[in-house]
Amino acid sequence: MNLVSHFSTRILETNLASGRQTATWRAAIASYRKPEVISLVFLGFSAGLPYLLVFATLTAWLRDEGVSRSAIGFFAWIGMMYSIKVVWAPFVDQLKLPFLGERLGQRRSWMLLGQLGIVIALAGMSLVGADSLGLLALLALLVAFSSATQDVAIDAYRIEIADVSQQAALSAGYIAGYRTALLVSGAGALYAAEYLGWTAAYQVMATCGLVGVLTTLLIKQPQATVQGEAGVGWEKSWWRWVVGLFVDPITNFLQRNGQFALFILAFIAMYRLSDITMGIMANPFYLDLGFTKLEIANIAKGLGFGVSLFGSFLGGVLVLRFGLLPTLLTGAVLVATTNILFASLALFEPSLLGLAIIISADNLSGGIAATSFVAYLSSLTATAYTATQYALFSSLMTLPGKFTSGFSGIIVDGLGYPTFFLLSGLFGLPAILMVFYLLRREQQSVH
């Protein structure tokens, strides 16, 4: 089965066909009131909380303590843990945890394990501080590992809790919670650091991690799939065990999509390259321009949160109203354009108004792109291998950007911020061209 037939099966038949007016505005908006969507808001918060604490907020802490930008850039590689989660995703997908698995089920037990790891490691980071960069990096790595594990389980839960026609709304709910967590771990952490210090700030963030623990204990278990709930038994031969965990999910994807699977994987790898590459230098950029931590919290995090929340909501509505691929194209174009706008902020006299305009444009485009892309990735998974296949896709989505962002500090030190942001914007061009190709391919399949 090629991409067109698979996409038609998972999307066209469930009113997510691109290029058509697939739902009324009222019906699209009403989908956000479902209990499943509301539960995803809280799970999204749990997933989003750790991200900035090992990424942008951590870089602000390090820069505030006088750590060099080149050293800060290498901390971006901690985020690559999110990009290699496909390595252990099969265990999350197929193996039951002792004790927790029997009481909470496959998805919730792995969620809880990851959430506890996040809380413990964040508390450890608060005690170590920037005086011991090596140990701080190890603890941040544990946060990222636990967070990535939680992400695998939440993604599988989201896909299994409702049919594919609801995935855009579920994705928007998830991203709404995720963005709320970014506000807390971004602006909230900066406020706490300003008035209480960085140690207390990270202790507050560790406490916020308990939201995920409580949510996991309260939500219902999705209807079990045969493989996902039964798991791969230890009684099987070691070869069949390895094949069941690692080979079957990939083989399934390749068989369903044929040779075009390589294009799909390449597209997944390129779509988020532009915005992920520039993200690591955002807070150091604001600080180097002379903005205070409170100004960054108010504008880059506070205002940005509201706009990104609207962008996520708008992205879900646009997918339901006009289709998936057109919304993906809109998001890709806007993300690349707004990255280039950051270069203008570096070239002219810094102003709060200019910062607010560019931050708003960046977060609006990011919200639209993220919501539509999560829905796209969800449509590619097979029910029997939900966690593993989605982890493969989301890993490919972030790996190139995380790798290139590791060199961002060196580029800024050598060429300056304007050149860096221009380059990051140009990284979005391949994704734009690939969406055009997908649109053309689907139009040919219709005719």
**Number of structural domains the chain divides into:** 1
Tens digit of pLDDT for each residue in 285-307? 888 888 887 888 788 767 877 88
Three-state DSSP at 124 gives helix
* Residue 313 · residue 370 · CB < 8 Å: no
What distance in Å separates the CA atoms of residue 25 and residue 29, rounded to the nearest whole number? 6
More confident residue, 165 or 116: 116
What distance in Å separates the CA atoms of residue 436 and residue 420, rounded to the nearest whole number? 26
Mean pLDDT of 323-349: 86
Say whether pLDDT at 184 is over 80.
Answer: yes
To the nearest whole number, what is the mean pLDDT of the chain?
81
Tens digit of pLDDT for each residue in 52-81? 899 878 888 888 887 877 777 777 788 778
Number of residues in the chain: 447
Say whether pLDDT at 361 is over 80.
Answer: yes
Within 10 A of 236 (CB to CB), how many other CB atoms are there?
12
Q: Enter the tokens of residue 405.
A: 């962002």
Number of helices and strands in the chain (H, E): 27, 0
Distances (CA, A) of 380 to 4, 319, 420: 11, 16, 33
* Residue 69 · residue 409 · CB < 8 Å: yes
Query: How many CA atoms does the CB half-sphere of 268 hold within 13 Å?
Result: 25
Q: Which domain holds residue 98?
A: 3-446
Q: What is the DSSP letter of 236?
A: S
Q: Enter the tokens of residue 207.
A: 């406490």
pLDDT at 16: 38
* Residue 265 · residue 387 · CB < 8 Å: no
204 confidence band (pLDDT: 50, 70, 90): very high
Residue 98: phi and psi, rounded to 5, are -60, 145
pLDDT at 3: 37
In the chain, % helix, strand, coil (3-state, to 5) comes to: 85, 0, 15
- Scan for tokens 């065990």, then name that residue: 241
Lowest mean pLDDT among 3-12, 164-173, 310-319, 410-419: 3-12
214 confidence band (pLDDT: 50, 70, 90): very high
- CATH number where 357 lies: 1.20.1250.20
pLDDT at 223: 66
pLDDT at 1: 39
Say whether pLDDT at 230 is over 50.
Answer: no
Say whether pLDDT at 117 is over 80.
Answer: yes
pLDDT at 10: 43
Tens digit of pLDDT for each residue in 371-389? 888 888 888 888 777 777 8
* Residue 196 · residue 207 · CB < 8 Å: no
More confident residue, 309 or 241: 309
The CA angle 112-170-331, to the nearest 5 degrees, is 115
